[in-house]
């Protein structure tokens, strides 16, 4: 991507709601913004942004304003995830997919959604083996909170991704250490290995 395209992607990215919901067909808001910038994606694929975001994207890119692509979903009221405490089994499968770390809990313990952080992306619903997660309109959630700002969503997503990368790097380092130990005589680490 050249400098002009990168600059365009940055401006487009700044207009997106940063829910990281993947409903646009891309792995998050940044890849979608980059696809728009290079002409690989249309501007009408963001249900969480809705008509307001579509209008801003049309004005920024000079592309015609078109209705939201129905293949991506429909525009609706802001929503939040809700975990039914009676049905949650504490499997923790909802934790990794949350792009803004809005779900808290521990293995074999009931989980809960931090309503003030939840973007309503729906990514926690599919991994739940007992279907205890549903979406509620934000105004029906308790405690009632305003929708998180896109800048805050992006900051929390960046922290989430950095933590995932750090954990993967640490996992690979442990794996390399185990392989080195297994390859050395009597399971001892090679000389000079911490």
Could you say which residues of the chain have pLDDT below 70?
1-2, 186-194
Q: How far is the CA of 120 from the CAs of 19, 21, 116, 170, 193, in angstroms?
A: 7, 8, 11, 30, 46
User: Has domain 77-184 been given CATH number 3.40.30.160?
Assistant: no
Q: Contact, 94 vs 128, CB < 8 A?
A: yes
Return the domain boundaries, the chain.
Answer: 3-72, 77-184
Q: Of all residues in the chain, what percent carry a pLDDT higher than 90? A: 69
What per-residue confidence (pLDDT) applies to 76? 85
**CATH no. of 3-72:** 1.10.15.40
What per-residue confidence (pLDDT) applies to 142? 73
Kindly compute the dihedral angle of the four CA atoms of residues 87, 18, 75, 26, in this order, to the nearest 10 degrees. -90
Strand partners, 79: 137
What per-residue confidence (pLDDT) applies to 184? 82
What per-residue confidence (pLDDT) applies to 194? 55
Burial class (CB in 10 A: 0-12, 13-18, 19+), 43: buried
Query: Cis peptide before 143, with omega less than 30 degrees from 0?
Result: yes
Burial class (CB in 10 A: 0-12, 13-18, 19+), 27: exposed
Tokens of 160: 């989430």
């Amino acid at each position: 991507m050249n400098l002009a395209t990168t600059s365009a992607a940055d401006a487009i990215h700044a207009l997106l709601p940063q829910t990281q919901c993947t409903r646009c067909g891309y792995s998050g808001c940044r890849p979608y913004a980059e696809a728009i910038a290079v002409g690989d994606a249309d501007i009408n694929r963001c249900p969480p942004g809705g008509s307001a975001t579509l209008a801003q994207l049309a004005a920024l890119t000079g592309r015609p304003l078109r209705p939201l692509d129905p293949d991506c979903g429909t525009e609706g009221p802001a929503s939040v995830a809700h975990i039914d405490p009676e049905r949650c089994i504490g499997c923790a499968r909802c934790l990794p997919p949350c792009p803004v770390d809005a779900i808290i809990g521990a293995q074999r313990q009931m989980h809960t959604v931090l309503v003030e952080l939840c973007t309503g992306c729906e990514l926690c619903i599919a991994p739940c083996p007992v279907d205890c997660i549903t979406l509620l309109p934000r105004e029906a959630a308790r405690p009632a909170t305003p929708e998180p700002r896109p800048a805050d969503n992006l900051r929390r997503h960046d922290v989430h991704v950095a933590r995932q990368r750090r954990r993967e790097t640490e996992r690979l380092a442990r794996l390399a250490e185990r392989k080195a130990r297994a390859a050395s005589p009597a399971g001892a680490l090679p000389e000079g290995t911490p």
